[in-house]
Amino acid sequence: MTTTRGASTGHPASPDPARGADASGGPEPGRLTLAQILEILAGGRLPLRFTAYDGSSAGPIDAPIGIELKTPRGTTYVATGRGDLGLARAYIAGDLEIHGVHPGDPYELLKALADELVFKLPPPKLMAQVVRSIGVEHLRPIAPPPQEVPPRWRRVAEGLRHSKSRDAEAIHHHYDVSNTFYEWVLGPSMTYTCACYPSLDATLDAAQENKYRLVFEKLRLKPGDRLLDVGCGWGGMVRYAARRGVRALGVTLSEQQTAWAKHAIHEEGLGDLAEVRYGDYRDIREGGFDAVSSIGLLEHIGVRNYAAYFRFLESRLRPGGLLLNHCITRPDNTSQPSARGFIDRYVFPDGELTGSGRIIREAQDVGFEVLHEENLRDHYALTLRDWCANLVEHWDDAVAEVGLPTAKVWGLYMAGSRLAFETGGIQLHQVLAVRPDEHGGNGGLPLRSWWVA
């Protein structure tokens, strides 16, 4: 693979004093171009076209996908950000541009990078030349884009991790983007959790309806029952249950979700059966519910708080009542639970994931009897595919609504998550459990599964 200078830009690069360029616009003798540095770190294997502001380029000329490093600031971001954080900063700030894919769905770019690009440290002498060529001025961290939240150690001003105040701020960061934006991305269902596709050609809305049907049936809900839905989002499960005669109470820490859900409940005439409250689930005082659904909330709870979380949900149920927990998990039970890099700083502050085994253990240890669990990770990959398609379709409106940097965050996050679900890096598990009565009874549940898969 060859590295050329100026071949892809159509014009000579301007001299960059910060990079030690000579009067002709080329690098000083012994200094490497940005493209040469990338080729060294990638072992000469680039699955895409790379161009840079210093006029250098690398990778196949006819590659359908490419990235362009446009500014010296982008070099600083990439050089100082650990893992995926540096690339994300440069991309979100506009210092790195992608070609051949839509910013609302850069899946093919991310897949190419994940499948074929492996970075390796060169021998010490060559690495020293790489560092000299980058320049010490690019190895000093600079302020990140304004869309980035502070590192975890600096968030103590918002309270201890997973305190009520800090959880509220984390939820606000992620969910109070714009209801209009979410309507474009999520579609009519306004459901921001994994759908369950009855067939590969099912629409997103049909798959979300099917997911609610599955949860409803697993919880054996019937007219007159009482359901508590914690972390209820825009009230999708609450309204689904209320349409079928169930008295449903939902709670969310997002003010925008609460306002949207209350309006939807009113529009559907479900006010006698459905209620969505703004607040922390820990403030729910009612008890004796026939069922509790937790759909996409455990990711925000914190692994150390699982015992208290399941203990609280158990206390809200009547004996024989059922719990359905639906959440993203890791494929093992030993990995570090805290999210890092791009996800933690731009998407889910304080989010934590662990394996389904840890979740089941914690539920069992507070007294729940686990009845069933299943992995829906392939369904989440399909869900994210369809969300990205919606974002692409409404891209111009989305950018006008939330701004280009935030729209780019969402395209990057959803496409990357799709890839992670496809490859098994993360999973989606539903766990069904019952609160036994004092004699160990389960309320007379059927001997075999009573729901349609």
Average of per-residue pLDDT across 291-310: 96
Note whether residue 185 is domain-resident: yes
Average of per-residue pLDDT across 143-172: 66
Q: Are residues 122 and 213 in the same domain?
A: no
Residue 348 is predicted with a pLDDT of 84
Q: Are residues 206 and 125 in the same domain?
A: no
Q: Are residues 351 and 419 in the same domain?
A: yes
Residue 5 is predicted with a pLDDT of 40
Note whether residue 31 is domain-resident: yes
The domain tally of the chain equals 2
The DSSP bridge partners found for residue 58 are 50
Q: Are residues 28 and 111 in the same domain?
A: yes
Q: Are residues 332 and 242 in the same domain?
A: yes
Average of per-residue pLDDT across 141-148: 93
Assess whether pLDDT exceeds 80 at residue 175.
no
Confidence of residue 349 (pLDDT cuts 50, 70, 90): confident
Q: Are residues 284 and 400 in the same domain?
A: yes
Give the domain extent around 121.
4-138
Confidence of residue 25 (pLDDT cuts 50, 70, 90): very low
Assess whether pLDDT exceeds 60 at residue 174.
no
Confidence of residue 350 (pLDDT cuts 50, 70, 90): confident
Q: Phi and psi (nearest 5°) for 145? A: -60, 150
Note whether residue 151 is domain-resident: no
The pTM of the full predicted model, rounded to 2 decimals, is 0.89
Assess whether pLDDT exceeds 70 at residue 9.
no
What is the per-residue pLDDT across 213-242, written as a single tens digit (0 to 9) for each? 999 999 999 999 999 999 999 999 999 999
Q: Residue 12's domain is classified under what CATH number? A: 3.30.1050
How many Å apart are CA 136 and CA 79, to the nearest integer?
10
Assess whether pLDDT exceeds 90 at residue 338.
no
Average of per-residue pLDDT across 150-169: 59
Note whether residue 301 is domain-resident: yes
Confidence of residue 166 (pLDDT cuts 50, 70, 90): low
Note whether residue 349 is domain-resident: yes
Q: Phi and psi (nearest 5°) for 429? A: -115, 135
In this predicted model, which residue has the larger pLDDT, 187 or 168? 187
Note whether residue 157 is domain-resident: no
Q: Are residues 266 and 403 in the same domain?
A: yes
Assess whether pLDDT exceeds 50 at residue 63.
yes
Q: Are residues 340 and 228 in the same domain?
A: yes
Confidence of residue 427 (pLDDT cuts 50, 70, 90): very high
Q: Phi and psi (nearest 5°) for 51? A: -130, 155
Average pLDDT of the chain to the nearest whole number:
90
Assess whether pLDDT exceeds 70 at residue 10.
no
Average of per-residue pLDDT across 161-189: 72
Average of per-residue pLDDT across 241-249: 98
Assess whether pLDDT exceeds 80 at residue 160.
no
Assess whether pLDDT exceeds 90 at residue 18.
no
Confidence of residue 123 (pLDDT cuts 50, 70, 90): very high
Residue 164 is predicted with a pLDDT of 59
Q: Are residues 195 and 331 in the same domain?
A: yes
Assess whether pLDDT exceeds 80 at residue 161.
no
Average of per-residue pLDDT across 112-140: 91
Average of per-residue pLDDT across 30-43: 93
Q: Are residues 99 and 235 in the same domain?
A: no
Which segment of 9-18, 148-157, 279-288 scores lowest on mean pLDDT? 9-18
Average of per-residue pLDDT across 157-175: 54
Q: Residue 267's domain is classified under what CATH number? A: 3.40.50.150
Positive or negative, the Cα torsion across 328, 330, 334, 338? negative
- Give the pair of three-digit tokens for residue 66: 């490419």
Average of per-residue pLDDT across 249-260: 95
Confidence of residue 26 (pLDDT cuts 50, 70, 90): very low
53-75 core/surface letters (b: 16 or more CB in 10 A; e: else)? bbbbbbbeeeeebbbbbbbbbbb
Note whether residue 130 is domain-resident: yes
Q: Are residues 261 and 220 in the same domain?
A: yes
- Give the pair of three-digit tokens for residue 269: 């005439």
Confidence of residue 117 (pLDDT cuts 50, 70, 90): confident
- Give the pair of three-digit tokens for residue 45: 């294997």
Assess whether pLDDT exceeds 70 at residue 443.
yes
What is the per-residue pLDDT across 361-403, written as a single tens digit (0 to 9) for each? 999 999 999 999 999 999 999 999 999 999 999 999 999 999 9
Confidence of residue 19 (pLDDT cuts 50, 70, 90): very low
Residue 276 is predicted with a pLDDT of 98
Confidence of residue 149 (pLDDT cuts 50, 70, 90): confident
Note whether residue 68 is domain-resident: yes
Q: Are residues 216 and 131 in the same domain?
A: no
